[in-house]
Amino acid sequence: MIVSPADLSHSELYGILLNSVAPRPIAWVSTISAAGELNLAPFSFFNAVCVNPPLLAFAPGLRAPKSPEGGHGEAKDTLRNVRETREFVVNIVTYELREAMNLTSGDYDPSVNEFEVAKLTPQPSKVVRPPRVAESPVSFECKLHQILDFSTAPTSSSLVIGEIVSIYMNDAHMKDGKLGRNSLDLIGRMGGIQYTRTTQRFEMVRPKVG
């Protein structure tokens, strides 16, 4: 079966992407508005994109139009806050934090503090204004590098690229001065409401060429 994206509805294409481009890491993004309101939300269109400079990127979609006649979607609180303050923190999500992360995924009013909803601790960051999630073992403080707005369509999204300016790593996950890759019980996003736990791992040595 071969299909063209142009022949698919938004939900059909969305389903194909989410079911096949997986598992996807989760960016648990904490932000603060210009008025000082805290926000915390997860995004699974996320990855590390560069080491020099150190860049992370995530793609928040637009909220569906409230009017039945359609129109442009509204920017989510996270995107609006990043535009206002040009700062954010990416916190990683472990299996232990799965329920708290899921609670923060609700489409809450901007006045709602998701830290309070999920009973999480906002820990002051070292460089940026938004706090990190104290319960997360690794957090990346970021300054905005660039925002790419792909379209004003109601189902579109933007790509937020941030430069890492400070990294928090819980000492419990450090070994010989390095972050222990096997100590982080990370989860990933699959399609629909499915997630995966990254505890089954295997190693492969790259072939030597030449």
Q: pLDDT tens-digit profile of 175-185?
A: 999 999 889 99
Tell me, yes or no, whether 42 lies in a domain.
yes
Q: What CATH number did the domain enclosing 162 receive?
A: 2.30.110.10
pLDDT at 65: 60
Tell me, yes or no, whether 57 lies in a domain.
yes
pTM of the complete model = 0.92
Our count of domains for the chain comes to: 1
Tokens 């989760």, located at residue: 26
For range 199-207, the mean pLDDT = 92
Tell me, yes or no, whether 168 lies in a domain.
yes
Contact 65, 113 (CB under 8 A): no
In this structure, what are the phi and psi dihedrals at residue 202, rounded to the nearest 5 degrees?
Answer: -145, 160
Q: pLDDT tens-digit profile of 104-118?
A: 999 999 999 999 999
Tell me, yes or no, whether 18 lies in a domain.
no
d(CA 61, CA 77): 11
| Residue 87 lies in domain | 25-174
Tell me, yes or no, whether 17 lies in a domain.
no
Tell me, yes or no, whether 31 lies in a domain.
yes
Tell me, yes or no, whether 81 lies in a domain.
yes
Q: How many helices and strands in the chain, by DSSP H and E?
A: 4, 15
Tell me, yes or no, whether 182 lies in a domain.
no
